[in-house]
Amino acid sequence: MLDTLDLTLSLDKESYKTQIEALMKELRSLQQTCRDKKLPIIIVLEGWAAAGKGGLVKKMVGYMDPRGFTVHPIWPPTNEESRYPFLRRFWQKLPPQGSIGIFYHSWYTHVLEERLFGRVSEAEVPMAMRQINAFERQLVDDGVAMAKFWIHLSKKELKQRLKKSSEDELEAWRVRPEDWKQAKNYDTYCTLAEEMVIHTGTGSAPWTLVEGDCKRWARVKVLSTMVASIKEALDRLHIQVPPVFTTPQNHLEPTEPNPLAAVNLKSAFASDDYKIQLRHQQANLGQLQQTLYQQQIPILALFEGWDAAGKGGAIKRLTDILDPRSYEVNTFAAPTDEEKAHHYLWRFWRRLPPAGKLGVFDRSWYGRVLVERVEGFATELEWRRAYQEINEFEEQLTSAGYVLVKFWLHIDQEEQLKRFQERQDNPYKLHKLTEEDWRNREKWPLYEVASNQMIQRTHTPNAPWTLVAANDKYYARVKVIETVVEAIRHHLKHR
């Protein structure tokens, strides 16, 4: 594919000057339109060292409003960034609605340069490419306009540019040892780039291959394609079908699984047994804590369930025995305005625990297919699409070495009413009871359907659900810690 590009294509100075001025003025105008329409844009610039990416970015941003874009030069991950899944640092840099993110190199370094230099094994590459495709598709489905460019150079041109820059005292610092390694391994790197383009050029995010031996030609082609891509994205905004908000389903079909109905809510512990079992499981967890830190294993425990199901109490007992420096509890409520300006998974990627630490999420990304579905905050297309997005997200976590434990704390309506009334009559617990809790209770059948479908569609081998009988708080608390301990031991055994 790359060897079919005509690298002799060029543009004379006069034609270049005329075209570049027109393109830059149009790009500035489109930037304002994107801001008004809240259209986020991602520009990915990949290619050979010395392909002219830096000069292109400088030319481009010279005409743009600096308040509406951010340039992200991507270097090898830091030690801290290496403690997370490789895509996390890019999720953190995503532009909000109405802004432009320019990635000077990108997530593709993981399957190009890091692959060439042996930092990523060949066995990891297919999965990494699948995860990149899922990442880009999720963003485009959410409304992001994305344009990806590979700027290609001939071997002769690459060496000439590197040599020229190395001999220029003002430019020599830009030439890295890795750049010379690209030239030395030109054919190998070219093969890797072609494989990347083939496997990650999708309908959602296609590649534009740019003939780069003539810098003027390359700049005009990149900017022309960028302008066309933004216009196309704006046109799609005008022809979008109105969002569909369907009436929530209040019963399961006869053929649908009902996993919650199979939970034995009579499971319980006597007070003395509870104390013995709790101490035993907490001791087991405490003994594993040092191993987790030494082997840099990240743990993530998600808590979902009915209001007043005892999530807070279970989390407290889970963390009581642990060193406070070794865990972090995150509680998620309705998204803020900043969070709404990004993909709904954005705020969860930011809070992931690093390697060696336990992260506890009180509520999670499952809000997309629960409260957002039932309350109409997400369209039917959005929440139905979320099942696949969630499974992909969790697969990325587990493939990166996370121990992921997902809990649904289940109680019946009678127990919930009893706990609501206890909170209402107790001045120390009254703050836990809100009008929203009562409104949610009235929609129990809707949430029951959504919960059952969520569990059935996101219960995977690597990220299974644990359904906890929580009518008895003692039983639920022990069950949670026991499950975490078993998950850690299983992970350690199969590393």
- Beta sheet of 327-331, edge-to-edge order: 327-331, 358-362, 299-305, 403-410, 465-469
Q: What is the pLDDT of residue 240?
A: 65
pLDDT, residue 71, reads 96
Residue 200 in contact with residue 137, Cβ under 8 Å?
no
DSSP-based three-state secondary structure for 466: strand
Q: How far apart are CA 93 and CA 72, in angstroms?
A: 8
Please indicate, yes or no, whether residues 192 and 293 belong to a single structural domain of this protein: no
Residue 382 is predicted with a pLDDT of 96
Find the domain containing 435 and state its range.
259-494
Q: Are residues 85 and 209 in the same domain?
A: yes
Residues 208 and 164 in one domain: yes
| Domain boundary, last residue among 189, 209, 239 | 239
Residue 244 lies in a domain: no
User: Residue 308's pLDDT is what?
Assistant: 95
CA angle 285, 293, 405 (to 5 degrees): 50
pLDDT for 241 equals 63
User: Looking at residue 248, what is its pLDDT?
Assistant: 78
Among 172, 165, 90, 167, CA closest to 131: 90
The pLDDT score that the predictor gives to residue 249 is 85
| Joined tokens for residue 85 | 């899944």
pLDDT, tens only, 404-441: 999 999 999 999 999 999 999 888 888 888 888 899 99
CA dist 248 and 60 (Å) reads 47
Please tell me the predicted confidence (pLDDT) of residue 272: 96
Q: Look at the alpha carbons of 65, 67, 72, 73 in this order and tell me if their dihedral is positive or negative.
A: positive
Average pLDDT for runs of 10 along the chain of length 495 = 94 95 94 95 96 92 90 94 97 97 97 93 96 98 97 96 92 91 95 97 96 97 96 86 74 92 97 97 96 96 97 97 95 96 98 97 98 94 97 98 98 96 87 88 96 98 97 98 98 91
Prediction pTM value: 0.94
Q: Token digits for 370?
A: 């629960």
Residues 208 and 354 in one domain: no
> Are residues 215 and 288 located together in one domain of the fold?
no
- How far is the C-alpha of 138 from the C-alpha of 141, rounded, in Å? 5
| Nearest one of 352, 344, 364, 363 to 328, comparing CA atoms | 352
Number of domains making up the chain = 2
Q: Please tell me whether residue 330 adopts helix, strand or coil conformation.
A: strand
CATH number for the domain that contains residue 301: 3.40.50.300
